[in-house]
Amino acid sequence: MSSSKLLLMYFLRLLVGFATTLVMVQGQGQLTRVGFYSRTCPTAESIVKQTVQTHFNSNPSVAPGLLRMHFHDCFVQGCDASVLLDGPNTEKTAGPNLGLRGSEVIDDAKTKLEAACPGVVSCADILALAARDSVVLTKGFTWNVPTGRRDGRVSLATETTNLPGFRDSIDVQKAKFQDLGLNTQDLVTLVGAHTIGTSACQFFRYRLYNFTTTGNGADETINPLFLDQLRSICPENGDAARRVDLDTGSASRFDATFFTNLKNGRGILESDQKLWTDATTKSFVQRFLGVRGLQALNFNLEFGKSMVKMSNIGVKSATNGEIRRICSAVN
């Protein structure tokens, strides 16, 4: 390889490195950057990592819980930890958030950080870091998390209508993502977080019985053999709270098998399976699967990029945010 080509490659790597180190938040002058706490609280990221590891060791379900919580936080009021605030009519009390898990991990990390570096690290940053650490603990790739967010002071249950729902069409899903500056590839990539975690029967059982008036009455996009399995786990009048893996056969490992399951008609949520049946999203699923003739995408690499993009939605600054002393209440 010529020296000019080597120099060009080196330059491009420098540009990529800079782009992932410093992120301008859309529509604001606020900057987040990798290593924001390197001087003010050098142990911040390691404290969060160790805390998540400890909780994960005793209860692995905190990993998908923390990832989902970060997602739900960013889609309402931006990534400002508003989802953690207690009180009547806060985001916590809204239907889509009643099943969120992992707040005890954030509280534990916050307590340790306040002891080490009082008033320095925001709850919003703890949640962003914990989401990344959760992916790594489930064998996914790591990525650099830009930090420097402030915590929000507003949390309203009425604003959770922005959250994507399990019955949403692809057009509705795309609109909700686009409203926040996320494109179709981001949509497919971030929904891929369902490669870990579970869902309760109540959120998909309607697909198994009386979904249509023809055939066996089930959603015709469900693989017939898989339908029998799901019906045995979630009888029509059975326990609505019983949980089912979102990524059958690989629910504890962060990988691309979730997309293989969609291709094979084994998606659990209706909104997930639609990623395969809609042409505008199917192409991205195929690229994650390495389908011949399409430019392949590495799911784990793309996931980190989309997470950085999402984690910079609506970042608060010192003028409209704060560093909470405890994550469940404003100062």
d(CA 112, CA 54): 13
d(CA 32, CA 316): 10
In 3D space, the residue among 163, 160, 192, 202 whose CA is nearest the CA of residue 275 turns out to be 192
Neighbouring residues of 264: CB distance < 8 A, sequence distance ≥ 6: 223, 226
Out of 55, 70, 72, 194, pick the active-site residue: 72
Backbone angle region of 198, left / alpha / beta, with phi > 0 → left and psi within -120 to 50 → alpha: beta
In 3D space, the residue among 246, 261, 254 whose CA is nearest the CA of residue 300 turns out to be 254
- Directed axis angle between helix 44-58 and helix 62-74, to 10°? 130
Question: Encoding tokens for residue 286?
Answer: 């195929």
d(CA 34, CA 138): 22
| Residue 72 is a catalytic residue | yes
Cβ-contact 153, 139 below 8 angstroms? no
DSSP reduced 3-state for 63: helix
Residue 329, φ and ψ in degrees, nearest 5: -150, 145
**What residues are annotated to the active site?**
72
